[in-house]
Amino acid sequence: MQVALIEDDEQTRARTEQLFEAASTAADPIHVLPFASAEAFEFAQVAADVLVLDIKLPGADGMTLAKAVRKVDPTVPLVFVSNYDEYVFEGYDVNALAYIMKPLTAAKVATIIAKVRAQKPAKQLLVTTAAGAQRIPLYELTAIEVADHALAFHLQDQTLVAAGQLKDYLSLEQEDFIRIYRSILVNLNFVRRVTTGEVEMADGTHYPIARQERKRTREAFFAHYRRLADDN
């Protein structure tokens, strides 16, 4: 989740950034893009999953920015964080997701994140196991592995076995997954380390890397985490 934070007070901005980043997980990372003014945000032209706006800002205020954003993006979630409650009803005019009074706390940030996620359903896979059809959120899926002529879908807390072929899931390489072996597809968000011949996952699991995939796997791993660092 990419959060655009528009807050002019430096200390409040830093504290808010810390609260959001503390809620980040390896499976569902949160990256904060901080801005000190509406003009700075507009100049940057960044894409964000949610805008967190102060009302009182130097230059254009948060409500003016929200109205400008709505003209070009009618769906992006807008969250107002303010010391002033007299703007609550104006928030309805721009279809604000939430209007939260300062100071922000970890609990309030958790509420914001939950609201954003509820509004934007997670990407999912639909697999059919012996128990029936089941939806798997991609952020819970650590790896897919060929096992005994079936597929093992490794989640954070369980493994589901279903019929199928790994080639049917190679499109997941557009969603932070990479095929490291002819029988293994891993989620880069859960890869802790890449060595010469294997990857180590966040839960300690090790998977082999095919010789011909070693260079590509290393490059994908480093590119993935460079992108996360750049987003911060």
pLDDT one-digit tens code per residue, 14-66: 999 999 999 987 667 899 999 999 999 999 988 888 999 999 999 999 999 99
What lies within 8 Å, CB to CB, of 23 at 6+ separation is 30, 106, 109, 110, 113
What does the pLDDT read at residue 86? Answer: 75
Q: Is it true that domain 124-231 has CATH number 3.40.50.720?
A: no
Mean pLDDT value of segment 183-194: 93
Decide if pLDDT at 230 tops 60. Answer: no
What sign for the dihedral angle of Cα 229, 218, 199, 189? positive
Mind listing the pLDDT tens digit for each residue in 89-109? 677 678 888 888 999 999 999
Tell me the C-alpha distance between 34 and 16, whole Å: 9
What residue ranges do the domains of the chain occupy? 2-119, 124-231
Range 2-119 has CATH code 3.30.70.20: no
Angstrom distances, CA of residue 23 to CA of 30, 96, 123, 228: 7, 22, 20, 15
